[in-house]
Amino acid sequence: MKYLITGLGNIGSEYDGTRHNIGFDAVDALCKKLDGSWRNDHHGELAEVKHKGRTLILLKPNTYMNLSGKAVRYWLQKEKIELENSLVICDDLNLVFGKQRLRAKGSDGGHNGLKNIQEILASDAYPRLRIGIGSDFSKGKQVNFVLGKWSEDERAELPHILDKSVEVILAMTTIGITRAMNVLSK
């Protein structure tokens, strides 16, 4: 069994440590846990890792957030991976900081990366893991908040949040998405 696990984010050092790049952070944590290593490849950085007889293709698109669909489609086709064996990880303003939600399909919820993926794939039937970044910003400051760096308190919580993300991703690839949803409620 083969899976494509895509973390959404923006390339460039100016985006490192920002809320919008938590998808990158999650796949980085997974790659580290499974002793993988990144390489530059077509449309992004790629790592191939193994877990319990499964091959996980980890992807950090270099297309920038709003054009992520191009990279996702390319690697799904190249690796001959079914849509239900993919997972997209992204930030979510509508979830409190640290809360995570795993779904088999759904709307883009106003997230431009998910919107582009749905347009390119012509489907919303792909699994996604949303990680809450909160919404502690004043009116008109959403972009600054999303592209802003984590606060000191948030940064202290990130390792625990990313450990939970890794646990959920591995559960999805071994016991299926429905049962993996229960991992989040623990």
Whether 160 is catalytic is: no
118 contact partners, CB below 8 Å, separation of at least 6: 69, 108, 124
> How many of the other CB atoms lie within 10 Å of CB of 79?
17
- Active-site residue set: 20
